Homo-oligomer: A and B are copies of this chain.
């Protein structure tokens, strides 16, 4: 995805060690035309899979997951980050830490939106340590659905998340991999 690399070069800033700010592109401001291209690319890479639903985690993953679901012609489900302390008997829940926010959140997916009849594609904007991804994988496992693959817009390949998911045997497709943010420089990994 040279188009995406170009935009990252032009618009991203390195905030601090390990944290990349992409807020005009991906997780605050969104370019719908670029996002549709990312969604089409994911649809192409997972075209052989019998996907029934695209799943993501609110909020930043929603636009690109929507674009992917629209292209594949399947529904989208986004896991909610739980705000209340109430018990939720109708939902699958998992507690996950957040690398960038330094807090713990609970992910939640309603039981009626995911079940053993589903083959899901998990789409997200960024993977770093993969904590949120692992939480969502546990939810998918709880539901009895089959995980067909994982599509990530931007993988920080100097952190362990993407590698760990591949070692579990999943097809993980990252559109762009960043090998390093050392010295406030963005260094892309070779494809």
* A residues lining the B interface (CB < 8 Å): 23-24, 28-33, 35-36, 58-59, 62-63, 66-67, 69-70, 73-78, 80, 83-84, 101, 103, 109-110, 112-113
Closest to A74 in B: B32
Q: How far is the CA of A35 from the CA of B32 in the complex (A)?
A: 14
Please, which residue of chain B has its CB at the minimum distance from the CB of A105? Answer: B83
Known: A28-B78, A32-B74, A62-B62. 15 other contacts (CB 8 A): A24-B112, A28-B109, A30-B66, A30-B69, A30-B78, A31-B75, A32-B73, A32-B76, A35-B66, A58-B58, A58-B59, A59-B62, A59-B80, A62-B63, A62-B66
Q: How far is the CA of A75 from the CA of B32 in the complex (A)?
A: 6
Q: For residue A32, which residues in chain B have a CB less than 8 angstroms away from its CB? A: 66, 69-70, 73-76
Minimum distance in angstroms from A23 CB to a CB of chain B: 6
Q: How far is the CA of A19 from the CA of B75 in the complex (A)?
A: 24
A66 to chain B: which residues have CB within 8 Å?
A: 30, 32, 35, 62-63, 66-67
Known: A35-B66, A59-B58. Contact between A75 and B30, CB under 8 A?
yes
Q: Are the CB atoms of A101 and B77 closer together than 8 Å? A: no
Cross-chain contact B29 with A76 (CB below 8 angstroms): yes
